[in-house]
Amino acid sequence: MKVFKNILFGLLMIMLGLPLIQRTVPVFDQTPLKGAFTIPQKPTASYASVLDGSFQDAYNDHFEHTIGFRPLLVRINNQIAYSVFDTALANGVIIGKENYLFEINYIKAIKGWDFLGNDVIETQARKAAYVHQKLKEANKTIVFVFAPGKASFFPEFIPDKYLQKPSGENTNYAVFSEKFRKYNLPVIDFNSWFVQMKDTASWPLYPQCGIHWSAYGVALATDSLIRFIEKDRNIDMVDFGWNGFEFPDTLRNPDYDIAVGMNLLFRIPHYNMAYPKVWFGNNEGKTRPNAIVVADSYYWNIFGKGYGNRIFSDNNFWYYNTEAHNPSWQAPRKTADLDMADELSRTDVIIIMATEANLYRFPFGFIDRAYDVLSESAGIASSVSSEDSKNQEIEAIMKSIDANAEWKEKVQQKAIAKNISYEEMLRLDAEWVWENKRK
Tell me the HSE value of 343 on the side-chain side, using a 13 A CA sphere. Answer: 22
pLDDT score recorded for residue 226: 97
Helix (H, G, I), strand (E, B) or coil at 142: strand
- Partners of 323 in the β-ladder: 319, 334
pLDDT score recorded for residue 119: 92
- 10 Å CB burial of residue 263 (0-12, 13-18, 19+) is buried
Which secondary-structure segment (H or E) carries 262?
A: helix 257-262
Is the pLDDT reported for residue 39 higher than 90? Answer: no
pLDDT score recorded for residue 28: 46
In whole angstroms, give the CA distance from residue 433 to residue 168: 19
pLDDT score recorded for residue 33: 66
Task: Please give the full DSSP string across 68-102, using - where no structure is assigned.
Answer: TTHHHHHHHHHHHHHHHH----STTEEE-GGG-EE
pLDDT score recorded for residue 63: 47
Query: CB–CB of 50/239 below 8 Å?
Result: no
pLDDT, tens digit (0-9, with 9 covering 90-100), for 86-140: 889 888 999 999 999 999 999 999 999 999 999 999 999 999 999 999 999 999 9
Is the pLDDT reported for residue 154 higher than 90? Answer: yes
Dihedral angle over CA of 400, 402, 405, 407, nearest 10: 70
Average pLDDT for residues 133-148, to the nearest whole number?
96
What DSSP state is assigned to residue 166?
P
Query: CB–CB of 27/14 below 8 Å?
Result: no
- Whose CA is closest to 75, among 263, 258, 259? 263
In whole angstroms, give the CA distance from residue 171 to residue 111: 7
Helix (H, G, I), strand (E, B) or coil at 189: strand
177 or 75: which carries more pLDDT confidence?
177
- pTM, two decimals, is 0.78
In whole angstroms, give the CA distance from residue 340 to residue 360: 23
At residue 382 the predicted structure's pLDDT band, cuts being 50, 70 and 90, is very low
379 or 83: which carries more pLDDT confidence?
83
pLDDT, tens digit (0-9, with 9 covering 90-100), for 42-70: 666 676 666 666 666 665 565 455 565 57
Percent of the chain with pLDDT over 70: 81
What DSSP state is assigned to residue 211?
S
Percent of the chain with pLDDT over 90: 65
Pairing type for strands 291-295 and 349-354 reads parallel
What DSSP state is assigned to residue 356?
G
- Partners of 245 in the β-ladder: 276
Three-state secondary structure readout of 263-328: CCCCCCCCCCCCEEEEEECCCCCCCCCCEEEEECHHHHHHHCCCHHHHHCCCEEEEECCCEEECCC
Number of Cβ within a 10 Å radius of residue 27: 9
In whole angstroms, give the CA distance from residue 388 to residue 98: 47
Query: CB–CB of 27/21 below 8 Å?
Result: yes
Please state, rounded to an integer, the average pLDDT across all residues of the chain.
Answer: 86
Average pLDDT for residues 309-322, to the nearest whole number?
96
- Partners of 242 in the β-ladder: 278
pLDDT, tens digit (0-9, with 9 covering 90-100), for 265-302: 999 999 999 999 999 999 999 999 999 999 999 999 99
Query: CB–CB of 191/174 below 8 Å?
Result: no
pLDDT score recorded for residue 385: 46
pLDDT, tens digit (0-9, with 9 covering 90-100), for 6-29: 566 555 555 555 555 455 445 445
At residue 433 the predicted structure's pLDDT band, cuts being 50, 70 and 90, is confident
Is the pLDDT reported for residue 167 higher than 60? Answer: yes
